[in-house]
Amino acid sequence: MRGRGRALARLGAHPHVLTAVMVGHSGGESGIGWIVTDRALGGSIEQRIGAPAEQVVRWAAQLAEALAHVHANGVVHGDVTPSNVLLDIDDVVLVGDFGSAVLLGDAPGSGRVTGHTPAYSTPERRRSAPPTPADDVFGLASTMFAVCGDLDGLTGGARRLLRRCLGEPGSRPDSSTLARRLAR
């Protein structure tokens, strides 16, 4: 939990990241860690399966912007899924659940096992590789595919870009490039 608390502390405020208001740990070394965040009154995008393609592209751009901020601050979310992409009352994306987050410097040799959701994880993560920003980009595309049900409903440029995110690690755009290109 301490690593996750440090990860959240690095992020500061961002319009598309759910703000942690309190981080704690109870019961000594074997105790339970906890994080209290602001509320996301719009639920998750998991509850919006079948959303119109135009909305899905807006959410993808906002999620990419959030991940660019997360990655620029040396953090990997580690579990980008429809249930972890929350919405405020105006349908603006708020990334939540940093329970699998790692600091980039800690990821390769931390020895700490982090959770992930296999259906939204890269093949590398499913083979127990440490989380990387490329995994978050893959999770973003997998999440958007799940929400819209079919990338074919998206415009050509957005569809091609999100399909690239599902490719091999070296072919995936980084989150800041993805954010810029989806915001067009």
Q: Which pair of tokens denotes residue 31?
A: 């105790």
Q: Is 79 a catalytic residue?
A: yes
- Decide: 179 and 64 in contact? Cβ < 8 Å: yes
User: Using 50, 70 and 90 to split pLDDT, how confident is the model at 1?
Assistant: very low
Counting the structural domains of the chain, the total is: 1
Q: Residue 20 above 70 pLDDT? A: yes
Contacts 24+ apart (CB under 8 A), 3-7: 3/101, 3/102, 3/103, 3/106, 3/110, 3/112, 4/33, 4/35, 4/98, 4/99, 4/101, 5/33, 5/35, 6/103, 7/75, 7/98, 7/101, 7/102, 7/103
* Catalytic residue of the set 79, 97, 135, 136: 79
Note the pLDDT of residue 79.
94
Q: Which pair of tokens denotes residue 63?
A: 């999620």
75-121 pLDDT, tens digit each: 999 999 999 999 999 999 999 988 888 888 764 444 445 678 888 98
Residues 6+ apart with CB under 8 A from 156: none
pTM: 0.87
Host domain of residue 118: 2-182
138-178 pLDDT, tens digit each: 999 999 999 987 667 787 889 899 999 999 888 999 999 99
Q: Residue 2 above 60 pLDDT? A: no
CATH of residue 45: 1.10.510.10
Pairing of strands 20-26, 85-87: unpaired
User: Who has greater pLDDT, 111 or 8?
Assistant: 8
Note the pLDDT of residue 127.
87
Note the pLDDT of residue 109.
47
User: Using 50, 70 and 90 to split pLDDT, how confident is the model at 29?
Assistant: low
Cα torsion 68, 71, 76, 81 to 10°: value is: 0
Note the pLDDT of residue 75.
93
